[in-house]
Amino acid sequence: MSVYKLNMEQLRNWVGRLIAERPVYGVRQKDERFVFGRLKKPEELRLDYDVTILPPKKYILPTRENLLAYQPGEHYESLWADEPFVLLGVHPYDFVAIRQLDLLFEREKPDEHYLRRRRAATIIVADVERASDNVFAGCVGTAVVKDAFDGLLTRVEDGYLLEVRGEKGEWLASLLESPSPANAAELSRRNDVWENNRRRLRKHELKVPPEQLGDLLRRSVDHPLWEEKARLCYSCGSCNLVCPTCYCFDVRDESDWSLDKGVRYRVWDGCLLEDFAMVAGGHNFRPTRAARYRHRYYRKGLYVPEMIGELACVGCGRCITACTAGIANPVEVYNRLQEEPHEDDAAE
Ligand code: SF4
Ligand code: SF4
């Protein structure tokens, strides 16, 4: 592990070299908001963004991904995407989300399509410079990350500190011009940034300790809140689609008109959509909006934590911003369950 100090010109030149070496997906401004997109020149990069519309997981788990090509009755061929690329400027909470996806896609039956893209990615995290309106990463322990990345950029007064780790980190460092190690004062300023981010990335205050959420949810299956909130839900699925930790997908076949060939692909799906739990024969396991609405909070606070030991909400706040009905705030829901307990036997 090494930490270097880069002035703004060194940063710009380094990003330029990255772009010359391989595809770089970084944060760009789009009207008043920010998106991850392919960078063509260093000047497009905005490390001072608040939050991106979609999380960077879209480069590892694309919205649509071809899995295999087939010829009916003949053969099929797996389709792989493993060209190396760089993700530049990933906020710590989005990086934690990617690490959670790693655990989920590696367990039981490893998902080779996901894993190949993940191995191809060099991820450079950037500490948050500007808090978004709804971020609460400070409440769920994701405001700062200290390991598992390939690079970490932190803004300090007249430039950035770049920490690099592992083989991919060495490659990142090899593209620096006249690298100079960070001194003790600069490292201390980085600690201040981390402390500050833990404190300020709390636009909503979660009053339930994350490790107690599972038990709270087990006691809240029949809580009236689910019906009350779901009455306003449009089943639009926006809260799912902007979430960095959601990973559900649907697998479909698309045959050519000739019927001689086709592709099997997967697309993002969302548990708030009406037909998400529909199975052959037309049965829907979650036919009501309340059942679908409740499921999302159980998924984040109980089911995924049971699998990987971590809360599946990293506090990015995107769902809060995306929900037109104003009902998708996990902090508000969990706090209400805590403050207005509803004991029920069904959960036992
Ligand atoms: S549930 Fe909402 S706040 Fe939590 S990670 Fe998903 S989008 Fe972000
Ligand atoms: S974004 Fe809001 S309205 Fe849309 S599905 Fe989610 S909770 Fe319902």
Tell me: the pLDDT tens digits for 74-94?
788 999 999 999 999 999 999
Residue 51 predicted with pLDDT over 50: yes
Task: Name the residue with the closest Cα to ligand 1, atom 4.
Answer: 313
pLDDT of 348 higher than 80: no
Strands (E), 108-210: 121-126, 151-156, 159-164, 180-181
Confidence of residue 344 (pLDDT cuts 50, 70, 90): low
Ligand 2 pocket, residue 246 CB under 6 Å: no
Q: Which ligand is nearest to the CA of 329?
A: 1
Residue 21 pLDDT > 80, yes or no? yes
> 173-188: string of b/e by CB count within 10 Å (b at 16+)?
beebeebeebeeebbe
pLDDT at 298: 98
- Secondary element (H or E) of residue 249: strand 249-255
Question: Band of the pLDDT at 343, cuts 50, 70, 90?
Answer: low
Which atom in ligand 1 lies closest to the alpha carbon of residue 97?
5
Q: Cα separation of 17 and 159, whole Å?
A: 18
Q: Which of 286, 299, 293 lies closest to 224, judged by CA?
A: 293
pLDDT at 259: 82
Question: Which residue from 305, 273, 278, 306 is spatially nearest to 292, judged by alpha carbons?
Answer: 273
Q: How high is the pLDDT of residue 1? A: 80
Closest CA to 160 of 170, 172, 168: 172
Calculate mean pLDDT across residues 188-215.
97
Sign (positive or negative) of CA dihedral 62, 67, 69, 70: negative
Length of the chain in residues, anyone?
Answer: 348
Using the CB atoms, write b or e for 268-306: b if 16+ within 10 Å: bbbbbbeebeeeeeeeeebeebbbbbbbbbbbbbbebbe
Residue 333, Cβ neighbours under 10 Å: how many?
22
Q: Which ligand 2 atom sits closest to the C-alpha of 237?
A: 5
Output the 3-class SS for 25-85.
EEEEEECCEEEEEECCCHHHCCCCCCCECCCHHHHCCCCEEEEEEEECCCEEEECCCCCCE
pLDDT given at position 342: 83
Residue having the nearest C-alpha atom to atom 1 of ligand 1: 313
Q: Which pLDDT does position 346 carry in this prediction?
A: 46
Please give the Cα distance from 268 to 54 (Å, whole number).
13
Three-class secondary structure of residue 4 per DSSP:
strand
- Mutating to test ligand 1, I would choose from 57, 318, 320, 334 the residue with most ligand atoms within 8 A of its C-beta, which is 318
Q: pLDDT digits over 284-340, tens only?
A: 999 999 999 999 999 999 999 999 999 999 999 999 999 999 999 999 999 999 999
Phi and psi at residue 212, to the nearest 5°: -100, 0
> Which DSSP state fits 303?
I
Domain boundaries, the chain: 2-54+81-200, 210-347
Pick the residue whose CA is nearest to atom 6 on ligand 1. 243
132 lines ligand 2 (CB under 6 A): no
Least confident of 32-36, 78-82, 259-263: 259-263
pLDDT of 141 reads 96
Identity of the amino acid at 283: H
Report the DSSP pairing between strands 151-156 and 121-126. Answer: parallel
User: Which residue's CA is minimally distant from atom 4 of ligand 2?
Assistant: 236
State the distance from the centre of ligand 2 to the C-alpha of 184, rounded, in angstroms: 47
pLDDT at 260: 86
- Asked whether residue 114 carries a pLDDT value surpassing 80, the answer given is yes
Q: Give the pLDDT confidence score for residue 345 in this predicted structure.
A: 45
State yes or no: pLDDT of 72 exceeds 90: no
Closest residue by Cα to atom 8, ligand 1, is 316
Task: Evaluate whether 59 touches 81 at the Cβ level (below 8 Å).
Answer: no
More confident residue, 215 or 257: 215
Residue of higher predicted confidence among 111 and 74: 111
